Amino acid sequence: MALKNLGDLPVLPLPESFALTAAYNEDSFPNKVNLGQGVYRDNNCQPWVLPSVRKAEETLHNQQVNHEYLPIAGDSKFLTKARDLLFSPEIGSSENITSLQTIAGTGANHLAAIFCARNLHPKNVFISDPTWDNHHLIWEVAAPNVTRKLYPYYEPSTRGLNFEGMLAELENSAEENDVVILHACAHNPTGIDPTKEQWKKIAEVVGRKKLFVVFDCAYQGFASGDTDADAWAIRYFYSTLFAESSSLTPAGMFVCQSLSKNFGLYGERIGALHLVTPSSNSPEGAKAHLVQFVRAEISCPSLFGARIVQTVLDDAELRSKWQEDVRIMALRIKGVRTLLKLELEKLGTPGDWSHIEQQIGMFSFTGLSSAQVQELKEKHHIYMLSNGRMSLSGLNESNVAYVAQAIRDVL
Ligand SMILES: Cc1ncc(COP(=O)(O)O)c(C=O)c1O
């Protein structure tokens, strides 16, 4: 039905993490703490420009680069480096991997959803319960005819993975060609990843049922501090399911790669989408369609982030400096996990807080209720998502005792 009056459109709420940051910025309380947005902060709560990235900026400045348009699919040198970072150089050069530069991880997820909706026509997309909230919005906007279904992921009673529930849902409800979104590592928001043995079983089911896999990889390096270790699941799926001899090849596989977090390039919006096609399928038609969607949406991607990433990854010395930067971020977050757990225990806070230390990546799924989260904000000026997700990089040696005391208070 045509809209008669623009004023009839309902006002929609801001996504929670953005609304929280806006509220935090307005808060004049001196000891306020932002544990909402998934961005890295240093031990002084400040944004951290990675030293390797700073060096690459200087190099680019000295090169007096131009500002021409990129090809629609993006910068081929950047794409080779980004692809090899995910898949390894051995796998990366395979002919059945097609890569396009995207507007960060969000753009990659969006492009994957458009492609699936328009070309694959799945009945359902299976999304982990819970997940990064934007997965829902992206698929709602880009693929309104695809039914969004949740697969069990987090089990509150164990504060762990509901692996049996996850597998049973895919086994019983997913049909050939349906899409399943998997977080490659450092699951957002739970901080819980499948073990290698569990990944192998997931791969078996998605291959046998001929599902279409969408790996979302936004935190490569943040789970373990090692970018190769964090790409294990993606490489395993590729090597076992897409080998020519495999009888378990899925309908296809997308990997949505964000370089926002592991390069600290949040606002530069740099990422890539990689499509893996079964070896019997030519990738040319799929690539042409992806290129057409990019052309319609952004014409061609942006330069700066691609140049930075390519400059860092192309230079052996800078690359190893960057790997050290990633380790520093991962280890600092690991360190504040332990600090928070110890502070909570020191205060005799009721309950078992070991999950904070055991969870992986940027977030802790604390188990705090939305009412407790609300009280933390109103009484203590501590901002975190209402589902109890805490972005740990907002913690540091100076504020961790304050946060622990506040949690003790709201329980
Ligand atoms: C799971 C997940 N996927 C994708 C993204 C997208 O990141 P960006 O678009 O900033 O690269 C995020 C960011 O928070 C995320 O947590």
> What are the pLDDT digits (tens) for 301-313?
999 999 999 999 9
3 lies in a domain?
no
From the CA of 248, how far away is ligand 1's center (Å)? Answer: 29
The Cα 190–Cα 388 span in angstroms is: 9
Query: What is the CB-side half-sphere exposure of residue 129 using CA atoms within 13 A?
Result: 16
Residue 214 lies in a domain: yes
Cα–Cα distance, 20 to 198 (Å, whole number): 35
Residue of 260, 273, 363 with the most ligand 1 atoms within 8 Å of its CB, for mutation: 260
Q: Which domain holds residue 181?
A: 69-314
Establish if 61 belongs to a structural domain.
no
260 lines ligand 1 (CB under 6 A): yes
Assigned domain for 64 exists? no
Does 306 lie in the same domain as 332? no
Q: Which pLDDT score is estimated for 250?
A: 87
Q: Taking all residues of the chain, what is their mean pLDDT, rounded to a whole number?
A: 96
Whether the CB of 264 sits within 6 Å of ligand 1: no
Ligand 1 contacts CB of residue 216 (under 6 A): yes
Structure tokens at 348: 């005799």
What is the domain count for the chain? 2
Over 80: is that where the pLDDT of 236 sits? yes
Specify whether 232 is located in the same domain as 335.
no
Does 367 fall in a domain?
Answer: yes
CB of 383 closer than 6 A to ligand 1?
no
- Read off the CATH number of the domain in which 336 is found: 3.90.1150.10
Whether 58 maps to a domain, the answer reads no
3-state SS class at 392: helix
Q: Are residues 270 and 237 in the same domain?
A: yes
89-123 pLDDT, tens per residue? 999 888 899 999 999 999 999 999 999 999 999 99
Q: Does some domain include residue 190?
A: yes
Residue range 368-394: mean pLDDT, rounded: 97
Token pair recorded at residue 78: 């950047």
Identify whether 4 is part of a domain.
no
pLDDT surpassing 80 at residue 355: yes
Regarding whether 109 and 31 lie in a shared domain, the answer is: no
pLDDT at position 3 is 82
Point out the residues that are catalytic.
Answer: 132, 216, 261
pLDDT digits (tens, 9 = 90+) for 316-342: 999 999 999 999 999 999 999 999 999
Check pLDDT > 80 for residue 1: no
- 335 and 304 co-located in one domain: no
Beta carbon of 74 within 6 Å of any ligand 1 atom: no
CB 388, CB 156: distance < 8 Å: no
Whether the CB-CB separation of 84 and 78 falls below 8 Å is answered with: no
C-alpha 83/C-alpha 191 separation (Å) is 25
pLDDT tens track for 271-295: 999 999 998 889 999 999 999 999 9
Say if residue 193 is in the same domain as residue 292: yes
Number of the ligand 1 atom closest to the C-alpha atom of 271:
11
- Tens of pLDDT along 72-94? 999 999 999 999 999 999 998 88
List pLDDT tens digits, range 32-74.
999 999 999 999 999 999 999 999 999 999 999 999 999 999 9
**Structure-block tokens of residue 256:** 């949505």
Final residue before a domain boundary, out of 286, 314, 342:
314
Q: CA 275, 279, 284, 285 torsion: positive or negative?
A: negative
Domain boundary among 287, 314, 341: 314
pLDDT (0 to 100) of residue 387:
95
The rounded distance, in Å, linking the Cα atoms of 205 and 199 is 10
CATH number at residue 145: 3.40.640.10
Q: At residue 4, does pLDDT exceed 90? A: no
Strand ranges inside 6-96, DSSP E: 33-34
Strand residues in 66-123 grouped as ranges (E) = 97-103
